[in-house]
């Protein structure tokens, strides 16, 4: 594989490589333990402009029903009571601005929609790698995270969950994308 080093070489349209991308979350439960989970079904695309990163953009659509924490009862409760997947089957993010911080760090601001509530959000991303795969495709990797207050999006069930589950949830992104021909 050949490593791509210049940001300008990455310009193009990309789709998420869902087999090599992880979209996860971490929340404290009863303020003592952490619950970790991830989403199994999602799709996304991006336009990267290596010469002017402010012209870059991204879109992400996550299926709420695909939430997994390795505990069936908890998963059903999170999907139904917290995310209300029957009325709001998708969680979406659409970027509005991209700001380059340094050579490999970017701030991606956009609209996060959960349960029909749209709020602005800025995620810090780091370019973790770029290379040409054996088939000649350009692949890029990014990782990022952001901590949100789930109550801002109405992700709550009842008064007891306010005490049992921390309102702060860290969203984690480990992204692989393939440039389209």
pLDDT of residue 155: 86
User: In angstroms, what CA-CA distances link 58 with 13, 43, 48, 49, 52?
Assistant: 10, 11, 8, 11, 15
User: What pTM was computed for the model?
Assistant: 0.90
We report the CATH number of the domain holding residue 6 as 2.40.128.110
Write out the chain in H/E/C secondary structure. CEECCCHHHHCEEEEECHHHCEEEEEEEECCCEEEEEEECCEEEEEEECCCCHHHCEEEEEEEHHHEECCCHHHHHHHHHHHCCCCCCCEEEEEEEEEEECCCCEEEEEEEEEECCEEEEEEEEEEEEEEEECCCCCEEEEEEEEEEEEHHHHCCCCCHHHHHHEEEEEEEEEEEEEEECC
Structure confidence at residue 2 as a pLDDT band (50, 70, 90):
very low
| 102-157 per-position pLDDT tens digit | 999 999 999 999 999 999 999 999 999 999 989 889 999 999 999 999 999 988 86
Flag whether pLDDT at 163 surpasses 60. no
Domains of the chain: total? 1
Contact 109, 144 (CB under 8 A): no
| pLDDT at residue 171, rounded to an integer | 97
Mean pLDDT of all residues in 41-61 = 97
Residue 143's domain comprises 2-179
Q: Kindly state the average pLDDT of the residues 170-174.
A: 97
What's the whole-number average pLDDT of the chain?
91
What is the pLDDT at residue 81? 87
Question: Has residue 70 got a pLDDT over 90?
Answer: yes
- What pLDDT, on a 0 to 100 scale, did the predictor assign at position 6? 85
Chain segment 79-105, per-residue pLDDT in tens:
998 899 999 999 999 999 999 999 999
């Amino acid at each position: 594989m050949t490593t791509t080093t210049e940001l300008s070489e990455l310009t193009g349209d990309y789709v998420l490589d869902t087999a090599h991308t992880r979209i996860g979350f971490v929340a404290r439960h009863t303020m003592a333990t952490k619950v970790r989970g991830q989403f199994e079904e999602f799709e996304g695309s991006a336009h990267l402009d290596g010469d002017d990163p402010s012209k870059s953009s991204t879109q992400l659509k996550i299926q709420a029903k695909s939430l997994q924490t390795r505990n069936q009862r908890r998963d059903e409760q999170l999907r139904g009571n917290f995310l209300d997947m029957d009325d709001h089957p998708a969680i979406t993010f659409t970027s509005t601005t991209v700001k380059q911080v340094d050579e490999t760090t970017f701030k991606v601001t956009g609209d996060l929609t959960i349960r029909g509530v749209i709020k602005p959000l800025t995620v810090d991303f780091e370019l973790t790698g770029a290379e040409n795969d054996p088939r000649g495709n350009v692949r890029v990797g990014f990782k990022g995270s952001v901590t949100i207050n789930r109550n801002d999006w109405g992700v709550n069930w009842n008064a007891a969950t306010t005490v049992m589950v921390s309102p702060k949830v860290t969203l984690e992104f480990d992204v692989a994308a393939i440039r389209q021909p």
